[in-house]
Structure 1
Amino acid sequence: MTNSYLTAMILAGTMVGLGVFLLVVQMLPAPPALGPALRRLHPLSAGSNTPAGISWLRRRFTVPYADLRLLDRSTDQYFLTLGLTALFCLILPALITVAVAVLSLRVSVFIPAGVTVAAALAGAVLAHREVVSKAAVARAEFTRAMCTYLDLAAHQVLGGHGPVESLDRAASVCHGWVFVRIREALLSAQLQLRPPWDELKALARDIEVVELGDLADIMRTAGSEGANVHQTLRARADSMRDRIRTEALAQAELRTNKLDVPAAALILVLLVLIGYPFMARLFVR
């Protein structure tokens, strides 16, 4: 066994051991995370104790900050997920490298090493795409929930409640993670003695949900100018439903069009199967 194969075996064993160690560490119970709660209550005064290595990665990679805030994840968790996924993807190529070394196959050690690096990069990319896709689904769910919230706020305004009370009462009667985030924003505004529409506007900007920002702008008009915003809220909710319906129909039509390709391929295969015996007899004669 050459020194290069021995080095490859040692590196492969080290990477597998590190991956197992990180997985075990993640399974251990952790203390309550008070940092995210304090940052939500005091977003302007919260400090950053990010390690230097994480800061270096943030400067050199595009991090989906809005998606992470929407999913209620920190950037440290994001990089940890990418790292664990890459380490997990290292296991199979590392085993292949060990097998090549043990069997003394005449394969350059750089080939399995290159496959190992490619697998790690592919795992990190897949983990990033999973975060982005989950955030897209969550953002669409947030938008659909905003239709209900706008209608409830409009009913509260029509019932004679003020803009601040309308926002609180409309959020308190609904369930789901979307309204939990809204109630947290309203509670943060109360604790910091800020107008609730300013806090909702900041939340909309952080998670990139335009509809929540529109609601904040409408309620700011009611709070500062005393305007009757019942009809405005109802009209905004109706326009959002029309847009969501249009997007759903367009998505359904796109998926239907994608089914034409396998259907055409199936018809082509059937035509070949039906016409082959006839063409074979014709050419044999």
Structure 2
Amino acid sequence: MLNWQLTVAVVAGALVGLGVFLLIRETSPATPALGPALRRLHPNPERPARIADPGSQDLAWLSGATRWLRPPHKELALLGKTPEQYALSLLLSVLIGLATPAVVTIALSAAGISLPVVVPALAGLGLAAGGALVAHQDVLSKAKQARREFSRAVCTYLDLVALQMSAAHGPVQALERAAKVCDGWVFDRIREALRLAQLQMHSPWDELRDLSDQIGVPELGDVGSIMQSSGTEGAQVHETLRSRADSLRDQIRTDNLARAEAVTGRLDIPGALLVFVLIGFVLYPFLARI
């Protein structure tokens, strides 16, 4: 006769062991990969090279899973993650969701409380699906916040490029000097794109537009389009850059006000509930006498 408690214990132990193995594999230091660095220096001219995480080579076994998961590529590129890392986060969330009911069932069994096998099985499936959904929404939420931060940084970058153009610098030099002024992950991505354009002998505005399409930030593509007119047609674009920065600043201010109004509207709900509770306390003595 099959012992369901022993089966659940073995399956839970295997899942927990797999999760611990994956965590140790990710946290352990890996050997630096020389191949991606050489491919960035000597890319294929028909396919521009992109910045890749050397640790993604260790997750090549998850490349098959990314074909049917349909990961959000623009959001992952903005966060600096690979589809394999996205698949690994979903896998860990699913494993945790499956193992949690089994561990709880074992603890209850040790305390003398037995549950039907259907309960932990259904709970595990539900928690697994919920964990995968939470992991996916976490990526989308972080990408949305990072995209807002990128847009604000691009607004500053537009002003800096306009100042460099007003100082009689060339378009390429203006883009590079403006990117070196500020720190932060946004300007690191911009500097890396400009460095990549220099190594590949590409125009920097084309590289900025490619980065804009890759991460889904159209404001950065506007910088490339404006600077292209200066590099190819010799147009004076510092006024255009300033006007674009002003319009982008107004757009960011409008979005912030809309989010603030939405948060304020959600705060009205607990306030209304509190009013009903106070009315109930006031009316209760009169209703109790009746």
Aligned residues between the structures: 282
Q: Is the 8 A contact 1:156 1:169 kept in 2?
A: yes
Q: Which amino acid aligns with 1:148?
A: T
Answer yes or no: is the 8 Å Cα contact 1:6–1:101 preserved in 2: no
Q: Is the 8 Å Cα contact of residues 221 and 227 (structure 1) preserved in structure 2?
A: yes
Shift of 1:5: 3.3
Aligned pairs for 1:75-94 (under 5 A) are 75-94=83-102
Matched, 1:190 2:198: yes
Deviation at 1:250, TM superposition (A): 1.1
Q: CA RMSD in A?
A: 2.4
Matched, 1:152 2:160: yes
Q: CA deviation at 1:221?
A: 0.8
TM-score when normalising by structure 1: 0.90
User: In the alignment, residue 29 of structure 1 is paired with which amino acid?
Assistant: P
AA aligned opposite 2:155: C
Q: Measure the CA separation in 1 of the matches of 2:219 and 2:40.
A: 21
Q: Is the 8 A contact 1:12 1:98 kept in 2?
A: no
Amino acid at match of 2:245: A
Asked whether the 8 Å contact 1:93–1:115 carries over to 2, the reply is: yes
- With over 3 angstroms needed to count, the CA separation of the structure-2 counterparts of 1:243 and 1:104, relative to structure 1, is same
In the alignment, the residues of structure 1 paired with residue 39 and residue 136 of structure 2 have an alpha-carbon distance, to the nearest angstrom, of: 24
Q: CA deviation at 1:228?
A: 0.6
What residue identity is the alignment partner of 2:158? L
How far does residue 114 in structure 1 lie from its aligned partner after superposition? Answer: 1.9
In 2: Cα distance, 1:233 partner to 1:223 partner: 14
TM-score computed with the length of structure 2 as normaliser: 0.89
> Which residue of 131, 146, 151 maps to 2:139?
131
Aligned to 1:14: 14
**Alpha-carbon spacing, 1:237–1:52, altered in 2? closer, same or farther (3 Å):** closer
Against the structure 1 CA distance between its residues 40 and 237, is the aligned structure 2 distance closer, same or farther, given a 3 Å change threshold?
A: farther
Query: Where does residue 31 of structure 2 map in the other structure?
Result: 31
Residue among 241, 249, 254 paired with 1:246: 254
Question: In the aligned structure 2, how far is the partner of 1:159 from the partner of 1:191?
Answer: 26
Aligned-partner residue type, residue 128 of structure 2? A
Moved more, 98-107 or 69-78: 98-107
Residues 208-233 of structure 1: CA deviation (Å, up to 9, x unaligned): 00000011000011111111101110
Q: Could you tell me the percent identity over the aligned residues?
A: 51
Unaligned 5+ segments in structure 2 are 51-55
Q: CA deviation at 1:124?
A: 1.5
